Every structure is written in structure tokens, then in C-alpha cells.
Structure 1
Amino acid sequence: MSVQTAVPVGERVREGRTLAVVSAATMLALMNYNATFSTLAAMARDLNAGTAGQTWILGSIALGTAVLLLAVGGLADDRGRKRVFVAGALTLAISSVLCALAPTTSAFVAGRLLQGGATAALLAAGLGLIGHAFPAGPERARATGVWGAMLGLGIALGPEASAGLAELAGWRAWYVAAAVASAVLAGAAVTGLRESRAEHRRSGDLPGVLTLGTGVAALLGAITLGRGGWARAEVLVLFAAAAALLAAFVAVESRTREPLLDLRLFRRADFVVATGGAFVTGVAVIGVMSYLPTVVGRVLGEPPLLAGAVLSLWAGVSFAVSLQVRRVAVQGRHLIAAGLVLCALGDVALMGLSAGWGWWRLAPGLVVSGAGSGLLNAALARLAVESVPASRTAMGSGANNTARYIGASVGVAIVVAIATSAPSLTRGADIALAASAAIALAGAVVAVAVRGRRSE
């Protein structure tokens, strides 16, 4: 009997190590992703960044992440998920050093672009490792719930940690800390993770990588520059280039024997819901919540730490709910729809912000929206790996997170455009919240209504 029980215990230890290392990396990646939100003013002064420079300081990591997510997901499945994960952790360490030492805005943006690529590797390969380590069923539901919870926890802690370190030693201190933490994670991954890859190694899809990568880069570049004026020639040229390149990507993938993204997956209802749900989450949830601390700071006159705490309350509830999603009987598309509905209700509850409010009046809306976000993070993570073949879990994660971060960039652009074009910031915030709620509700309806072949 002792011999028979030794293997399951060993497997459980390895599963625990995988979940611990991947979860810690996910939390760090999201903390770093949001670190600039609370220190932008100090960074702009130190780096002499104008309006355009500040836009790129905020948006560059999203560009680097979204461009590479699907490509590194496919690479992880074919060449080794652990290998790509370790490379991502080491790259995050190096790029964090570059950001800490950056003398100019351009140098800092270059470092953040590299951090985006590292983030893509950690997210895609990390969730792929979890999908391989935990078989479908209750254990995978628990593991993906923990992974989803780390998204919320990272969002909650990032701005606060960055602001706190800035108070002690300047805004560069965060990037020093991130470099050290990333190096430690790389070591833990080398010793604690077991390699996994698809049985069939594909030859690679360079045309797909190039057309998708440049297409997404052009799209996010247009969105980033568009905040300074949507009718400018360079913005229109980038949008046109993005449309042409993404159309070329679809054409290439439909003719390639071993595509980066198998377009036949879009015949699967679960894949459509997972990918579409991630995009809507980015547009309608992440977009408005990313800008909310700025609104709170300007309208209520709160300092960065307290304004960031508003986001922490939302993300903290998201973290707690994600950990409990495995106990919910409803799963799949219905859970995603429920999460989007809760986010919409939370947005409605946040409307009406004015200078006379205390921060506590935001709490009900933040709690409801945070609960919805928690449902979404856990449900989307699970569906991302279960809606694709078992050998392509990292690709499924890459596709899902690509949709999420493209959606987030679109959402932030929409919210900022609406909020800053209204007669007052409070009026603009209300319109932006209403628009986000409408998009979330539409996404919930589509999630329930979409039809197609179920995942195999």
C-alpha cells in the first residue's frame, strides 16, 4: 500500500509547486503591469515626458504583451512550457533593470515593451503549465480559480506597492524590486517545475506570427496615439495597416497546415465564448476600472495611495471570489454571463460620483463589480484551457489573454475619450460607466446565446 500511495503524493507535491510558482509569477506580472498608474506624475517629471510620452509610458507594456501572447503560447506548447516560462521570468528581470536605470522616456518605454513580452510568456506558458498539470475536473477548477485570483490580487497590489516604494525611495524602486523578484521566480521555476510540451511539435508558422504581431502592434499603436486625436493621419494609417495585416493573418492561417491559431476552433462554442468573453472583459471591465482611480483622485482630491485603494477594494473582492468559484454549480458560459451582469450592475452603482462623496460611497459598486470580475477571471481561465485540444493549453491561454489585453487597450481608449470630452469629468465618468455597463450586458447575452460545436 505504501508503494501505491507514494506516486499520488509525489504528483500532488509537483502540482502544488506548479501552482505556487505560476501563481506567484502571475501576481508579479499583474503588479508590474499596473505599477505606472500611481506614479505617472513623478515619472513624467523625472523623465521630462509630455502628453505623448505619458501615453506611451502607460500603454507600452500592453502593446508588448498583446503582440506576443499568442506567439509565445504556441512556442511554449511546441518547445516546452517550462522553458518559455523561465525565459519570461529572466526577461522580466532584465527589462526591469532597464526600466530602473532608464534616463529618458524612450528608454523607459523600450524597457516596458520588453516587460510586455516577458509578461506574455509568463501568462501564456504559466496557464498552459497549470492546464497540463491538473486534469479536467475539480482540481483544475481549483487551480484555475487560484490563477484567476492572482490576476485580481496583482491588480490590487501593483499600484499600492509602486506608490509605497516611491514614497520611500522614488518611483525607480519598484523596478529594482521587480527585477529581484523575477530572478527569484526564475530560480524557483528551474528547480520546481516539470517540463511539458505537445507530443507533436509543429514546424512553426512564421507568416502567422509576423502578420498577427505587426497587425496587433499597428492596432494598439493606433489606439494609443488616438487618445491625442482620432482623425490624425498617422492614426488612420495605423488603423488601415492593422485591418490589412489582420486580414492577411486570417488568410494565412486558413491555408497553413500547422497554423499559429487553428481557425476551426471558432466553430467551438466554448472557444468563442472564452475568447469573446475575454475581449469584452477587457473593454467593459478593465478599461473603466483602470481609469477610475484617476477620476476619484481628481474629483475627490484624494492622494495617489488612497485613490489606488479604490481599485484595491475592487480587485480584493475579485481575488476572494475567484478562489470560491470552484464551489459554484454553474460553469462555463453561464458563469461568464453572470460575471458580466454583475460588472454591469456594479458600474451602474458607481454612477453619480461628485465632489461631496466620501470614498465609502463607492464601496457597494466596487464590491458588486469585483465579484463579477472574480467570476470572470476564474471562469475564463478554465474555459481557455478546456476549449482547446489538451496539447495546446498554452495556445489557448495565449489566445484568451490576447483578446483580454487588446480589449483592455480599446476599453481604456474609449473611457478616456468619453470622460475627457464631456462638459465635466463627473459627467464623462457617468457616460463611460453607462457605456461599459451596456457593453458588458451585451456580452452576457451573446455568451448565453452563441451556438456551435462543444469542446472535445
Structure 2
Amino acid sequence: MATPGAGRRESRPPGATAAVALPGAATLLGLMNYTAPIATLSDTGAGLHAGTTARIWVMSSISLGLAAALLAVGALADDHGRRRLFALGGALLALSSVGCALAPASAAFVAGRIVQGVATAALLATGLGIIGHTFTGAARARAAGIWGAMLGLGIALGPIAAAWLTRLGDWRLWYWVTVAASVALTAASRALPESRAEHRRGLDLPGLVTMVGGISALLSAVTLGRTGWTRPPVLALLAAAVVLLAAFVVVQARRTSPMLDLGLFRRPAFLLSVGGALITGLGVIGLMSNLVTVMVGAMRLSPLAAAFVLAIWSGMSYVVALQARRLPARWSSGLLLGAGLALSAVSELAMLGISPGTPWWRLAPGLLVAGVGSGLANTMLARLAVDSVPPERASMGSGANNTARYTGAALGVAMVFAITTNGGATPDAMTHGFDIALLVSAVLCAVGAVVTVPLTRRLSAHATISTVLPTPGR
């Protein structure tokens, strides 16, 4: 006789606990490390004797490694084993963090941060790929929600932990903590289930070279462009980026086993995944990455206090992402992604009007609404990243999603920085510029929310047709 409720229990696949806990821990660590310099830039720059341009690279260099490597490591993980690439990512993060901790000057530190970005790319792409392969249905939605929640929690804790460790001793302490955490993560990776695609596609070397080269040239141009967009090196890098990225598209269209299947862009879910991630990077991460600088430079908060204020946004994002699984199943991922972007737009409008005398709590309502929007968006993007591609290509789907997110973030950081500092570095000029940046970011998020509507309708229509049409052979 069956026990009551037995039919409602979901069977847990082997290694299910590790397949949620370790990708979540890796994402938490990766995002904490990604955001750590936001609150310690002044101390880090002084310790490395970094000038204005070098400080820009201190902030941006990890985005270069992340965006350039995400799609490539996702494809490699699908072919050669997601657990294997996850462990390699953890080991590489430990080694590169040693380099950052011991860096004698800004050039060595920036090189270490770029390698940290590559290592973080391996952890993010393989982690979400492991979740996509291990779980299905409602269990996958819950696991993706936890993964999405770790994005918010990492952004909340990173600046706080780094600022606190800097007050405790030195800005380098954070990187030694990252070394220890990365070593522990690598050792624990043995508990993960191994998974890979049934058929290897092989190394797409032309695609790899053109994609990495194109994204690297683009983000390098964006970083250098903050000190002058018409300078010859910037224009040369932008031209190289256009040529290389166009070549990447041509290479992918002609290969029988491409790194990125361009046919996926005909899927509404994939367009939502990649497009939503790009808008999130441009309109949300770019803005919030500059907010601490405005709070410290114009509102006269300490770095640690500014980090706690920023945590209103990222902490709420964490809470909402964890609870998103309780939303009605009839509410589609596309609908909730659009709602998240719309709330982000509203929140940015709510923060308009700050000035050098504005108290920190004036930002709190907008940051709370922004946290709700980001929590919804992060969770839905994680679901779409694995649901929009075939199961054997889960890491590639994650790589494409996160490539769009962190390319958008790098562009967004540059855009907001340029707008905020366009009128000068005085507190009045900075807050006026940030008001303009808030408006621009709100428009981007609103446009993103509107675009999700037709894509969500197409996604719903596609799902209905798939349900109604008979399965071949029946």
C-alpha cells in the first residue's frame, strides 16, 4: 500500500545536493569577488600607485575576462565534462587570486583580475550547466532560483566584506580569503556528478579566436574610451571589434558544429535569455556599480556605509529570488522577466533628484524596488538559460546568457561613468550627471520590458503548438 503523499514526492537524482550547493557557492564567491573593488577602489589604487586610467582598469578588468571566456568555457564544458571544468575554474581562481594579493603594481593586478574573470566564467557557466543537466521541471526551477539568488547575495556581501577587511588590515586581505575559498571549492567539486554532451562538437578554433578577440577588443575600447572616445587607439580597437565579431558570425554560420548555434536565435526563449541578460547588464549592473562611487564622492558616506546601502538592493534581490519559486506556475518566465525589468525602470526613476546633501535613506525605496526587479529578472534569466537550449548544451546556454550579461555590464559601467563625470568631479556635477544616468538606464530597462511582451507571446504560442501537436510515432 502506498504511503500518503508518496506520489507527490519528487525523486532526487544522484548528487542532487552537491549540484545545487556547489554551483550556488561558486556563484556567491564569484560575484563577491567581482564586486569587491567597488568599495575599496581608493585603497587599492593607492596601494598599487595607480593613476586614473589604471583605476579604470582595476574596476573593469575582470569583466573583460568574464565576457571573453564565458561562451568558450561553456562549450568546452559540454564537450569535456562540466565537473572537470568547474574544478579547473576553482583552481585557476585560487592561483589568480594569489597573483592579485601579491601584485606590486597595477599592471600585475589587472592581469590577475583578467585571469580571475576567466576562472569565474568557468564556475558560472559550468555551475548553471550542472543544474540544467541534473534537474528537470519544478526541481530545476527551484535550483535555478537558488543560483539566481546567489547573484544578489554575492553583490550584497562582496563590497561589505572587502571594505570590512580593508578596515581590519589591508585591501589585499580579500584576495587571500578568495584563495582559501577557491581551494575549498575545488576540493569539494569531487562530490559533483560528472556530465557532458553525448556527442562532442570539437574545438571551434576559428570561432574561439574571433569571439575572444572581438569581445576583448570591444571591452578594451570601452575601458579606454572613458578617457577619450576619439583617440586613435580607441577607434582602432572598435574597428577591430566590429571586424572580429562579424567574422565570428560568419564562422558560426558556416560550421556544421559551431560554438554558438545561430539557429537558437530563432527560439523566443533564447532571445529572452540573451536579450534580457544584456539589458540587465546595461541598465542595472552598470548603474549600481557606479552608485557606491557617487555615495562616497558626492554624498560623503564612508565606503563601508555605502556598501551597506547598496546591499538594500542586492539583499532584496537575494530574498526575492529565493521566493520566486512560490509564484504561480501559469506565470511564464518571459512575463516575470518583463516585470522585473519594468520594476527596475520604476526604481531608477524613484531615485532621481539626489544631491550632495541627500541622506542615504532617500535612496532606500528605489533600492528596495530595484531589488525586487533584479530578484525576478535573475531567477527568470537562469531558468531561460537552461530551458532555451537542448539539455546536452546546458553549459553553452549558460555561457551565452552570462556573456550577454557581463558584456552589457562592462558597457553599462562605461556609459554611466561617462555620463556621471561628464560635467566634472565636483559633488554637484556628479549628482547631476548621475540623475541623467538614472534616466538613461530607466529608459533601457523600460524598452527591455516592452520587448519581452511579443517574445513571451511567441514563446507561449510555441509551447501551445508543441502541446497540441501529436508526438511522432503516436
TM-score, normalised relative to structure 2: 0.93
> Which residue number corresponds to residue 471 of structure 2?
none
Deviations 1:282-321 (A, max 9, x none): 0000000110111111222010000111211100000000
> Which residue number corresponds to residue 169 of structure 2?
169
Using the TM superposition, give the Cα deviation of residue 163 of structure 1 relative to its aligned residue in structure 2, in angstroms: 0.8
Q: Does 2:435 match 1:436?
A: no
Look up the SS of the partner of 2:171 in the other structure: coil
- How far apart, in 1, do the equivalents of 2:368 and 2:449 lie? 19
Percent same amino acid among aligned pairs? Answer: 54
Using the TM superposition, give the Cα deviation of residue 12 of structure 1 relative to its aligned residue in structure 2, in angstroms: 5.2
On the 8 A contact 1:341/1:440 being kept in 2, the answer is yes
Q: Does 2:451 match 1:446?
A: yes
1:32-431 correspondence to structure 2 within 5 Å = 32-135=33-136, 137-190=137-190, 192-329=191-328, 330-422=331-423, 424-431=429-436
Using the TM superposition, give the Cα deviation of residue 452 of structure 1 relative to its aligned residue in structure 2, in angstroms: 5.5
Deviations 1:365-407 (A, max 9, x none): 0000110000010000000000001110000000000000000
On the 8 A contact 2:13/2:134 being kept in 1, the answer is no
On the 8 A contact 1:97/1:179 being kept in 2, the answer is yes
1:261 alignment partner AA: L
Most deviating of 149-158 and 331-340 = 331-340
2:375 alignment partner AA: G
Look up the SS of the partner of 1:229 in the other structure: coil
Q: CA RMSD in A?
A: 1.6
> Which residue number corresponds to residue 17 of structure 1?
18
TM-score, normalised relative to structure 1: 0.96
On the 8 A contact 1:317/1:370 being kept in 2, the answer is yes
Look up the SS of the partner of 2:298 in the other structure: helix
- How far apart, in 2, do the equivalents of 1:62 and 1:264 lie? 27
Using the TM superposition, give the Cα deviation of residue 81 of structure 1 relative to its aligned residue in structure 2, in angstroms: 0.2
- How far apart, in 2, do the equivalents of 1:422 and 1:441 lie? 26
On the 8 A contact 2:14/2:193 being kept in 1, the answer is no
- How far apart, in 2, do the equivalents of 1:427 and 1:52 lie? 23
Q: Which runs of 4+ in 1 moved over 2 A?
A: 8-13, 450-456
Using the TM superposition, give the Cα deviation of residue 356 of structure 1 relative to its aligned residue in structure 2, in angstroms: 2.6
2:436 alignment partner AA: I
Using the TM superposition, give the Cα deviation of residue 44 of structure 1 relative to its aligned residue in structure 2, in angstroms: 1.2
Look up the SS of the partner of 2:15 in the other structure: helix
Look up the SS of the partner of 1:34 in the other structure: helix
- How far apart, in 2, do the equivalents of 1:372 and 1:50 lie? 36
Number of aligned positions between the proteins: 450
Using the TM superposition, give the Cα deviation of residue 128 of structure 1 relative to its aligned residue in structure 2, in angstroms: 0.2
Structure 1, gaps ≥5 residues long:
none
- How far apart, in 2, do the equivalents of 1:226 and 1:59 lie? 12
Using the TM superposition, give the Cα deviation of residue 9 of structure 1 relative to its aligned residue in structure 2, in angstroms: 9.3
On the 8 A contact 2:13/2:135 being kept in 1, the answer is no
Deviations 1:344-366 (A, max 9, x none): 00001111112332211111000
On the 8 A contact 2:91/2:182 being kept in 1, the answer is yes
- How far apart, in 1, do the equivalents of 2:162 and 2:296 lie? 16
- How far apart, in 2, do the equivalents of 1:118 and 1:322 lie? 25
On the 8 A contact 1:267/1:452 being kept in 2, the answer is no
- How far apart, in 2, do the equivalents of 1:277 and 1:449 lie? 13
On the 8 A contact 2:355/2:432 being kept in 1, the answer is no
